[in-house]
Structure 1
Amino acid sequence: MQGLGRSLYHLRVRNQDPTTLIGIVLVVLFGYLIAAPIFLLVTDAFVVQFADQGRAGQPMGELTWYYVERVFFSRISMDVFWRPLMHTALISVSAIAIALTVGVPLGWLMSRTDLPAKKWFSTALIVPYMLPSWTFALAWLTLFKNRTTGGSASWMESLGVTPPDWLAYGFLPITLILALHYTPFFILLFGNALRQFDSSLEDAARSIGAKRGTIARKIILPLMLPSLVSASTLIFAKCLGDFGVAYILGVPVGFDVLATSLFRAISTSQTGMSALLALTIVILGSVSIFIDMYLLRQARRFVVIGSKGSMNRTTALRGWRLPAFGFAMSIFLISAFIPLMALLLTTVMKVPGVFALSNFTLDYWIGTDVGTTALKQGILLTPEFWEVTWNTLWIVGSAALGAGFLGLLVGYVVARTEAKSVATFLRQVTFLPYLVPGIAFAAAYLSMFAVPRGPLPALYGTPIILVLAILADQMPFASRAGISGMMQLGRDPEDAARSVGAGFIRRLTSVVVPIQKGALVSGVMLPFISGIKGLSLVVVLAVPGTEVLTTYALRLVDYGYSQASNAVVLMICVIAFGGTMLVQRLTKSNLSDGLGNK
């Protein structure tokens, strides 16, 4: 009887505070949804797959170096890996250089000067990052495409000028688009570091006769170096996994990067080779992110940045106010306004680039007889468009809601559990997708769920795989929002509720969730926005019947229906931009105060 009483007592205690038990359930869940697919991706790269038994000369499931030899050392390795790797490296380095050149001056103008309309620019200059990167690839095609790939004419062709291949496709446009898309990383990271920089250090150096160049080289630059290198490593990681821009502007002329080479391997069912390519992208991306994490830790050692009593003096531009305003406005026009206007105008033109009044039409939006084979009506009258929109909203919405709720639970467990190993594992495993570019993570999910695994049947071809993949991929956002929120919440409110007999569920719903409303909103809305505009993850996993807006737009691009695809892309932009502004309003935050690293 005494033993039974002790057991009942422990059961009541666990019922009152089941934090560790919830943590164990989350460990199992994320081990299955995050760690297992990545582990399987690793094993697939070194195990003979069914289709390769004859070529490898080994039975299925046996350890092999066949894929390593095929990807890195065979006759096709130059086309499959080395040339795409070289293209990826050149694009990444060049994009970083351009973004650095543009973003650093803008970061200084935004944080340390009296630039006119600075508040407006704080949002306008980060619009390119709010929108899908491949949006601007479509705008580039609209303006500069030539007859190499057929389809409707570009604006330049309509004006009687045929752009050369090097301008229309390949290295130059991909690099410029990625550079302008990720320039906000430098604007925000460098600008925020400058905003926290103590101006008294400059005054001290100036008082002993140091010139401006010396101050910049020996004081400001060393202290700003962590933010500059951090932005560079983040851009490098992003460029590694960016699929849409290279697919639209590179594939038509045979210009491959690692992401498009991986997509081709997946499309041709080369499981082992695609696993090894994905693993290579993961390793390269992980190295860059770990460098970023190290530099952020190093940056905290500079106590003069953000120290108590520090000064942040604004520099008067005086006669340079107008040129500085012109520079900032030019970057906004080139990186956001002109591309979006080109897309919009193309959707209301029969022949792109012809501005005669008779050439304008709303047929591609609301027309009843467009005259194309696969799209007979305007986008807004096409049932398939609304089906895909509904697919997008419920698939991404379900994933975002799940990520937000699970992120809050992760934060609760990390902040409250006594089992430190559980807390550590949850911190690490929910951060893991951050290290994996989207298309590589999609390859991992394809390996995991193309066949029955554990309690789940084969999920490929169903919307469930998209929900799970997006949820898992967005856990770094959601879990960090939950952890940061719960770390700031003391135990007193829960203890007060417990003292009046409130159980765990009641405390969670009546105390924790209302107090952590901001963290929960961020944990839902940020994954929703990222999921709406994402392409790299879903392009591998979506099939007819489970298409979302991004894959639907890409299919229209493949058909050559530029006006219709641009219309769909603009609808994605409206949802993504509107969602971003909604997050800022609900959370009373501003993207100019900081930028998420994913």
Structure 2
Amino acid sequence: MSYQSDINPRHSTWRKVRHTLSIVSHEPANLLGALLLMLFSWIILAPVMSVLLNAVLVQSGDEGRTGATEGTFTAWYLLRTLTSRMSELLLWTPLLNTLAVALSTVAMALIVGVALAWLINRTDIAGRKWFATLLIVPFMLPSWTFALAWSTIFKNHAIGGQPGWLEAMGIQTPNWMAYGYFPIVTIMVLHYAPLVILIVGNALKRMDSQMEECARVLGASRGIIAFKIIIPLVRPALLSSALLIFADCIGEFALPYILGLPVHFDTLSTGLYRAISTRQSGVAAVIATVIMLMGMLTLMLDMKMLREAKRFVTLGGKGVMERRRTLGRWRTAAAALPLLFVLLGVVIPLLTLFLSTVMILPGRFTAENFTFDYWIGHNLDTVALHNGILLTPEFWHTVWNTLVIVGSASIACGVLGLLVGYAVMRCHFRWVAAFLRQLTFLPYLVPGIAFATAFLSLFAVARGPVPALYGTPLILILALIAEKMPYASRSGIAAMTQLGKEAEEAARIAGAGWFARIRRIVIPIQAAPLATGILLPFISGIKGVSLFVILATPATDVMTTWSLRLIDYNYQQAANAVVLMIALISWAGTVIIQKITGTGLADGLEK
């Protein structure tokens, strides 16, 4: 005997829909999460998918080469980039150069960074607290600050324009020293070694020195203690540092652009820039895809290392002992290594740039050769720059563009980051929260130059109701919001995990609406994380190059692109002056973050 269910499937489905709508209406975070998903799918996921598709779709103007109509699938770009006679020039040589630079930088940065981290954290070296802060400064400065300082000193006759200081003094510098692999790696080591100092230094600080003492009492040699105790415990920090540096090196653009292009030392980033400049959009999409895949793979390995780091812990609790090695009479002599790093990474580059801006002729240190004309002078003897930068309308135009574009994007980032944190922690639908969390982290996996290419491929032309945005400040603002969301969203999520629902529930019962609760409860409580979510993207955006060099036009020039344009015109003094202004703004923003959050760069190093 069969029985028929009394429950109508249609009624059951309708009840589920009504239940879902009831949940959504009861908790606005559900609707907020859905809206944020749509927004970030448009400005993050869609550009990435667009550049992937451009690698296999016939682009406008390539119909004759590919033998197919525009928009149809083709393997022509893949074959041209990977296997044709041009592939060595387009991809393989830049790839090998990129790997050589990245791997060398990782190796040298680890050696220098670990040595300095050990001196600062595990010894009583003279000036330890001062060095703990000063050693991190090179990481605050734009990487191409060092490139311009290097070019100012070592530039030779291989390219036109003013000579470097050494050549002006009669000392001929070889090409390998002035341009290409050697200076790029040297500068990257100076820039990224502080990252190793921070990450490995924190690991060394948390390590219980009682384990070393016990091993020493039992007769273990220094080599056994180092390889059997210290290195296994700091291995996750070493691997994390290596992978983060490697991922950054893959997408580095400014250094190869300034020091590589003059001698045709191409990397993936400059190869991508060249492909875009010559309107090879399909080839550019293939190169961008290679950069994205390398960046994603590297940073996914980094996340895996961070998860595995939980297995490497020191058993202990509040009794963890931190004992620094006494250097005795070598205490002062050991300070020579961090002092040398500070001189090479901070003092010499900044002093070189400043001196170059007040010298008429490079390398001539006489009183009559010094002037402030490149800052505040009139009627300069140059073709396109007639006054000092502080009296040049173009400079203030780029300052205004920078503040408006980067400032607007940073404020939007901070607010959206807090809303992402709110949606992730309050949303009833776990898949929405999980997808939103991962989606806002996606730009961190894509190097900036590749992400800029993705944005260009999607927004350069009109698509549906969205007009072409290329050449407008809006495309730069949207690209900056998307690229900096990993910082802002992680700040917002971390802040919202510490905020319970009780205060909001009490306000809701009292009749306060959702906007009133956000404005009067959430934002005041989360003021410091909100400020951090604004200022971190602001500092990073001020000194950024990769996004702007692809997406900016002369009408939307910012300080970084204008300085690169001055370099192309061989106006070295003016370009260096602009870079000093960028470094000053970046430093001021970092100080503001420290004042607002009550933290410092060296908090992980100092006791």
With the shorter chain as reference, the TM-score category is over 0.9
Q: Which amino acid aligns with 1:383?
A: P
**1:299 counterpart residue number:** 309
Amino acid at match of 1:50: S
Query: 1:420 maps to what in 2?
Result: 430
1:290 CA drift (Å): 1.0
CA shift, 1:448, in A, is 0.6
For 1:284, which of 283, 291, 294 is the aligned residue? 294
Distance 1:102 1:580 in 2: 24
Amino acid at match of 2:401: N
> Per-residue displacement from partner, 1:490-549 (whole Å, max 9, x unpaired)?
112212222322111111111111111111011100000000000011100000110000
Q: Does 1:47 align with 2:57?
A: yes
* Structure-1 residue corresponding to 2:4: none
Pairing partner for 1:526 from 514, 530, 536? 536
Using the TM superposition, name which of 475-484 and 508-517 deviates more.
508-517
Instruction: Call closer, same or farther: CA 1:99–1:306 in 2, change over 3 Å.
Output: farther
> Superposed, which structure 2 residues align to 1:233-248 within 5 Å?
233-248=243-258
Does 1:562 find its partner at 2:572?
Answer: yes
The aligned counterpart of 1:463 is 473
Cα 1:307–1:567 change in 2 (3 A) is: same
1:17 and 1:504 in contact (8 A); partners too: no
> What is the aligned partner in structure 2 of residue 225 from structure 1?
235
User: In 2, distance between residues paired with 1:446 and 1:239?
Assistant: 22
Distance 1:9 1:213 in 2: 65
2:6 corresponds in structure 1 to none
Matched, 1:576 2:567: no
Q: Which of the numbers 336, 352, 361 marks the counterpart of 2:362?
A: 352
What secondary structure does 1:456 align onto?
coil
Provide the residue aligned with 2:412 in structure 1.
Answer: 402
State the alpha-carbon separation in 1 of the partners of residues 586 and 464 from structure 2: 36
Instruction: Say whether 1:146 aligns with 2:156.
Output: yes
SS in 1 for 2:555: coil
Cα distance in 2 between the residues matched to 1:589 and 1:15: 40
Counterpart in 1 of 2:268?
A: 258
Q: Distance in 1 between matches of 2:604 and 2:427?
A: 30
Matched, 1:488 2:502: no
The TM-score normalised by the length of structure 2 is 0.95
The answer to whether the 8 A contact 1:48-1:59 is kept is yes
- Residue identity opposite 1:20 in structure 2: N
Seen in structure 2, the aligned counterparts of structure 1 residues 502 and 341 have a Cα distance that, compared at 3 Å, is same
Q: CA deviation at 1:309?
A: 2.8
1:319 aligns with 2:319: no
**Structure 2 Cα separation of the partners of residues 305 and 41 of structure 1:** 48
- Asked if 1:512 is matched to 2:522, the reply is yes
Is contact 1:188–1:593 with CA below 8 Å preserved after alignment?
no
- Please say if 1:197 is aligned against 2:207: yes
Match of 2:13 in 1: none
Counterpart position of 1:4: none
Separation in structure 1 between the aligned mates of residue 500 and residue 329 of structure 2, nearest angstrom: 52
Distance in 1 separating the partners of 2:122 and 2:575: 41
State how far apart, in whole Å, the 1-side matches of 2:381 and 2:581 are: 22
SS of corresponding position for 1:50: coil
Counterpart selection for 1:59 from 69, 74, 95: 69
Unpaired runs of at least 5, structure 2: 1-16
Partner Cα separation in structure 2 for residue 437 and residue 136 of structure 1: 21
- Structure 2: distance between partners of 1:543 and 1:393: 16
**1: distance between equivalents of 2:546 and 2:128?**
34
Cα deviation, 1:304-324, whole Å, max 9, x if unaligned, reads 177443222222222221122
Q: Which amino acid aligns with 1:316?
A: T
- Whether contact under 8 Å (2:63, 2:70) holds in the other structure is yes
Query: Structure 1: how far apart are the matches of 2:67 and 2:376?
Result: 58
Match of 2:374 in 1: 364
Q: Give the number of equivalent residue pairs.
A: 590
Deviation at 1:551, TM superposition (A): 0.1
Query: Which structure 1 residue ranges, 5 or more long, are not aligned?
Result: 1-6
Cα deviations by residue, 1:328-376 (Å, 9 ceiling, x for unpaired): 1100101111011000000000011211000000000000111101100
**CA–CA separation in structure 1 for the residues paired with 2:316 and 2:81:** 48
| CA deviation profile, 1:31-87 (whole Å, cap 9, x unmatched) | 001000001111111111122111111221111111111001111111111110111
1:330 alignment partner in structure 2: 340
The farther-off stretch of 109-118 and 305-314 is 305-314
CA distance in 1, matches of 2:24, 2:512: 14
8 Å contact from structure 2 (residues 456, 551) kept in 1: yes
Q: CA deviation at 1:11?
A: 8.3
1:414 aligned counterpart, secondary structure: helix
In the other structure, the counterpart of 1:477 is: 487
How far apart in 2 are the matches of 1:157 and 1:116? 38
Question: Would you say the 8 A contact 2:27–2:427 is kept in 1?
Answer: no
| Alpha-carbon contact 1:46-1:64 (below 8 Å) kept | yes
How large is the Cα RMSD of the aligned pairs? 1.7
**1:310 corresponds to which letter in structure 2?**
V
Counterpart secondary structure, 2:554 = coil
- Does residue 72 (structure 1) correspond to residue 82 (structure 2)? The answer is yes
The 5 A counterparts of 1:586-597 are 586-593=596-603
Comparing 230-239 with 302-311, greater Cα deviation is found at 302-311
Q: What's the CA shift string for 1:530-575, capped at 9, x where partnerless?
A: 0000001110000011000000000000000000000000000000
Query: Normalising to structure 1: TM-score of the pair?
Result: 0.96
Which moves more between the two structures, 562-571 or 303-312? 303-312
Q: Residue 424 of structure 2 aligns to which amino acid in structure 1? A: V
Superposed displacement of residue 138, structure 1: 0.5
8 Å contact from structure 1 (residues 15, 504) kept in 2: no
1:581 corresponds to which letter in structure 2? V
Question: How high is the sequence identity, in percent, across the aligned residues?
Answer: 53
Q: What SS does the aligned partner of 2:556 have?
A: coil
**Distance in 2 of aligned mates of 1:372 and 1:158:** 20
Find 2:34's aligned residue among 24, 33, 42.
24
Partner of residue 208 from structure 1, selected from 218, 236, 239: 218
Alignment of 1:380-459 (within 5 A): 380-459=390-469
Is contact 2:201–2:604 with CA below 8 Å preserved after alignment?
Answer: no
Cα distance in 1 for partners of 2:551, 2:493 equals 30
Q: Which stretches of structure 1, 4 residues or more, deviate above 6 A after TM superposition?
A: 7-13
1:182 & 1:9 partners in 2: Cα distance?
A: 53
Corresponding residue of 2:384: 374
